[in-house]
Structure formats: structure tokens, C-alpha cells
Structure 1
């Protein structure tokens, strides 16, 4: 919120050269899934259950996001919500990479974004210990970041973490498998995996995951190395669907899960860290405009894995614009209205 009384923003003018460069880059950057470049376009907004907030008129609200599909959708949801609440919204979504968005919030050059608890915990805050419990992860991140001038709002149910998925038609063939702990009961020849190179080698990836579930990589009675295929990230979904392996490493809110009818195994022994998304604010912004945090607290509970998979699918598979998908969802939920109706 660019107020003349904000010393942080006025003394950060030197940083705007960096921001301008990032924005120029984001104008031509493609999303992680190979989509068309995103723009600042959003349709006209009318109030719904989100109505003009007292004190918002004439106040700037700057929203940022990263440059992959899910973040573009969440960024547009934030832009639409802020507009319906009466703010003058500046859309700085589609920045290339996590660190630029983090820097904008830390420096007060952006007021909010949707961020993942696991990303903050492991990447920004440099913690080594993974936390699978979603509530504990959120609280741990909140407790540290509040000291950095950043406030984490209410988390959404959606948890965009790693998972293993199997093509649905093979579930019965594999004994009706539904959980990762059941992998150990399968014949060795059925324990086949498609993973990306990073997950294959990372310290919280393939090897410790197998060990966590009682399987030894390379062992004849565990998971022989020949049972593991290395693929580009985007190719894992189709390879799993085609039967190149029984189990593919996926992300739980990816729209291709539904498009290809892949079933996600339950991480019943809680290996993967929580990656719940939550609205994250520059603390001075919510202190200056009471009620801002509450707007997003009403949106968060509606953002489930199923909802995001559906929206991601509309963009990645059906080719729709993120702003249009976000707009339709916000109208369906009653948060906003179409002023032309």
C-alpha cells in the first residue's frame, strides 16, 4: 500500500529498478507448464459477499505471485478480492521464481501473496527438519515470520505437496492399493516408479521415502534400481498413465491427476512435508487497514485440493486464461458478482 507516510516504501526506491526488471521479465516469462504469458488482465468486478471495506477507498493494494499455473490462479483470486473490497489493486503476479516474490513482501513493496508453508519453512527460513502435520507446520512458519514483519493468514485445506499416484484402472490389479504403506505388500515386480531427477536424489526424496515405508532401494527384496525410471517432470504424469510404471511422483493439486484419472496414494505414515497455501501479508499493511486479513480468511477454507486441481486443469488442459478461471470460481462461490449482469 503506497502511502506517503510509509517510510519503508519511500526509502525502497532503489529496489524498484530490480522490480521493474522482474516485471519486464515476467511479461514474457512462460509458466512452469508451458502456457502462454500471463498478463495483468482481470474482468470487471462487482461486490458479492466481499463488499467495499471501510478505509480501503483510494488505498493501493499490491498483490504478487510466482509464475506457474496455480500461483497465477491464486494471484488473480487475490486481485479480484482486493478489487471487490474497494482497494486500488496493483497486479504484480507472474514473477519468475520464489525469491523475487519473497523479497517484495519482506521489503514491503507488495502487500500480500499466497505462499506455501513448506516452501517458507524449508527454503526461506532454512529449516532442515520436515514437518508433515499441517497445523504444526503453519504455526512454526507463523512464529518465525512474524518476527520478519510478515503475517501468515489462515491456511487453506489445499496441500500442494509431493505424492505417489497410480492409474486408477490399475488399483484393483494392485490389490486395491490406497496407501503408501501398502507398497511393501506388493510383489517386487509391481514396485515400479516414475520420478524426476531432483526427487530421485534429494535428501527428502526417493531414497528416504522408501526407507520410511520399510523398503530399501537397490535391494532385491525392496526396490531394485531397475524399477525406477527417471523422467522430466511433465512427462511423469503421462508415463504413469501409459503404464510405464505403476507409481508416479506427482503434486497433489496438479490438474493432470483428474485429466488422466490418476489416483493419489494416501501418505499414511506422514513422510511428505506440508505445503498448505495461505495468504501472507506485509504486517504493516494489515495493521494499516483492519479487515484486510479477514477478507482472505473467508476465501481460504474454500481452497481445497479438489478445487485447485479443477482450476489447474482448466488452464493446463483446457487452455483457459487463469484470470477467467479465477473469476468464474469467485462468482460461483458468491465472493464477487459480474457488474454487467
Structure 2
């Protein structure tokens, strides 16, 4: 028997997986192969933004829909959130995975997030309904901003929360951030005001921040995205945002309401995978691509097979 590379995710979501698969029209053989034909006639492209997590989600979704009778493919070629959203609105894409905070702030023009993941999801679902865009039930993962520190230094400083960080001597409050984060309303200016940081800041490119945080020469605390696979791979730990300053960037599959009305079974099929996609699972899948250099499509297919979803 093949040993699972996804042991942590498989164990963590075993019960959820059993619940999600109950009542589904799964193929008798399980594993690879058709699971049903309820989406026969559904065609189009599943879009993605231009980073690994989105590539993985696009391939996961395309493979899963095809296992239920659809004939769709993943399109990972567009660059920029606005372009992907426009492609959905223009019917170039059948659907794609979006983040609640992005839609609420960027597409719906709100300057302040709604506190709490569930409340934020409900608010953005209602707002996007006016644009004929439906949100299916979200996954648990939250790809929000966060600050991480190498585990050994977290232990030495005794910090677990951002409030703990704010209580440190000024000399220990050293941060590595990207240029955009330095000016965003949901970035460093608002964060410093909310927590009262007396911070020393080093500006770096996004990809460099992770290795700089691991080394600890330029900063103790690095700006990260919470589902990034480099966090566990580099031995970093995320500080709890105990004042809930950062918006929730919970992932959910979005599509036109008219498409969902024509193929309502899409919601049932996506519901098979959504509960399994926790922050820890996405970190693990992202690490296989960003750290190990594996192909996102291969990672998606293997994970779906190990969950008996295709």
C-alpha cells in the first residue's frame, strides 16, 4: 500500500471527509475515475490568480468537477486579481476561488473589513449577489496577512500574540514588510495604531521576507500569508492577531448565479472538498509546490486521489 504524503491532512479531516462523501454519487471503485454524471454538459474554464495556492485550487476544482461529468479545464494564465474577477464577470471563466476580504474591500469598495470570518463571508456573499456572483460555502482556510517569527526566537522572547509583540522593548520590535503593506489601510499603518507598535521596519520583496525572517538578521517578525507553505518548512510560527485587526481572507468558490441555477449540483460537488481545505492542509499543499518544486496539477490530483474524491 502506498504511504500517504498527506498524513497530517488525511488524519485531520477523516471525519469531515466521511460526512462530506455521505450521499454522494461516488463510483464503486473509489480513487481515480468517475464519481457521477450529475454535471454532464457543464463546460468552461476554472480560473486562478497567479500564485501557487490558486493554481492548486484551480486544478483541484477542474478535476473534481470532471469526475462528476463536467468537461472543464484549469486556466492559470491570467495575472492579477482584478483580471480574474473580470474574466468571471465576462463569462470567460466558469468560476474560480476568491478570498472574502479581497472581494469585500477591492471589488465591493468597502474600506473596513467585517470582524469575524463567518460575518465577513455573509456580508460579501450578500454584496456579490447583487453582481450575479454566487459564493459557495467556504473552506476553513484563511489566507490573511500575518506576522511570523522563527520558533526559537518566539520561545526566547515569550511571544504568542501581536499584543505580546507590542509589549516588547523597541529594539526587539523589528519587522520585515513589503512596500505595498507599508501603505495599505489593512497594513502596517493601521496595525501599528491598533497595537501600539514602536517598530523598526525593513522593506523587502515578498519572497525574501520568509528567508530573512528565518535568519533573523534583518528582523524578528516577517509579514507572511497564513497559508504559505514556507511557514512550517522554515520553522516559523505565526503570531495570533488577538485584536482581529486583519481582514478575513477565507477562500470560497465563486461563479455566476446563472451558472449555479443551471447546474445546482456544482454546490454539492464543491461541498465534498471545501470542508477539507484547512489552513494546515493548504500550507502542506503549497509547500509541495513552493518548497519542493512539484507541479501544482500533480499535487492537486494526488491529493484528490488520496481523499478518494476522484
Indicate whether the TM-score tops 0.5: yes
What is residue 118 of structure 2 aligned with on the other side?
A: 135
What is residue 257 of structure 2 aligned with on the other side?
A: 283
What is residue 97 of structure 1 aligned with on the other side?
A: 80
**Pair 1:319 & 2:293 matched:** yes
What is residue 173 of structure 1 aligned with on the other side?
A: 156
What is residue 239 of structure 1 aligned with on the other side?
A: 212
Please provide the CA RMSD for this pair: 1.6
What is residue 19 of structure 2 aligned with on the other side?
A: none
How far did residue 48 of structure 1 move? 4.8
Q: Give, in whole Å, the separation in 2 of the partners of 1:276 and 1:310.
A: 17
Give 1:1-341 correspondences, 5 Å limit. Answer: 48=31, 51-54=35-38, 56-175=39-158, 177-215=159-197, 222-223=198-199, 227-244=200-217, 245-336=219-310
Q: Give, in whole Å, the separation in 2 of the partners of 1:167 and 1:322.
A: 27
Three-state SS of the structure 2 residue aligned to 1:151 is strand
Unaligned runs of 5+ in 1: 1-45, 216-221, 337-341
TM superposition score normalised by structure 1: 0.79
TM superposition score normalised by structure 2: 0.86
Three-state SS of the structure 1 residue aligned to 2:87 is helix
Q: Give, in whole Å, the separation in 2 of the partners of 1:70 and 1:310.
A: 10
Mean CA deviation greater in 310-319 or 127-136: 127-136
Three-state SS of the structure 1 residue aligned to 2:76 is strand
Greater than 4 Å deviation, 4+ residue runs = 46-50
**Superposed CA offset, 1:238-262 (max 9, x none):** 1111012111111101111011110
Does the 8 A contact of 1:61 with 1:82 survive in 2? no
